Amino acid sequence: MNASITSRPIAPEDDPLLLRLYTAAREDEFKLLPWSPADKAAFMQMQFQAQRADYQRRFPHADYNLILADNEPVGYLYVARSSHEIRALDIAIAPEQRDQGIGTAVLHQLIAEAEASNRPLSYMVLRFNEDALRLYLRLGFQVAGEYGNHYLLQWRRKPIF
């Protein structure tokens, strides 16, 4: 990957892109449902709005950012930081931008922040999202718990001794 990876806060005009990214990230979850494309789109819109409202309520001070590759939006990252942990709430990369190292670069930035601040970094991942699970485990995350259809993954700084 040769692109410069940066981020910027999400703005209201980013909503169509955010919905597209959210839908693409969850497409596999709904692939087998016998719904019409219109029904799936309406459901995704509802889920997108519900997730946003839930995150805003539970994590009002979180950072909600677009991920940029060479200043072009390619994904989003929502992160809540507290004195005792860094929690990645949600991350999505556009399908056409996947497998180019963008997600890995973003996660390396979060890992560096966690290491520098001596805080764990956590993220919930769907159990059947094998690609994401492989990525997180490769980067040193460990399964810290199981919650329904999700694994709680956690990266912790390795002790010196």
Distance CA(81)–CA(69), nearest Å, equals: 23
Distance CA(99)–CA(56), nearest Å, equals: 30
Distance CA(78)–CA(59), nearest Å, equals: 10
Q: What pTM value is reported for the model?
A: 0.90
pLDDT of residue 28: 76
Lowest mean pLDDT among 13-17, 31-35, 146-150: 31-35
Domains delineated in the chain: 5-155 (3.40.630.30)
pLDDT of residue 1: 60
pLDDT of residue 160: 56
Q: What is the pLDDT of residues 43-101, one digit of tens each?
A: 999 999 999 999 999 999 999 999 999 999 999 999 999 999 999 999 999 999 988 99
The per-residue DSSP string of 20-43 comes to HHHHHHHHHHHTTS---HHHHHHH
Q: How confident is the model at residue 156 (pLDDT cuts 50, 70, 90)?
A: confident
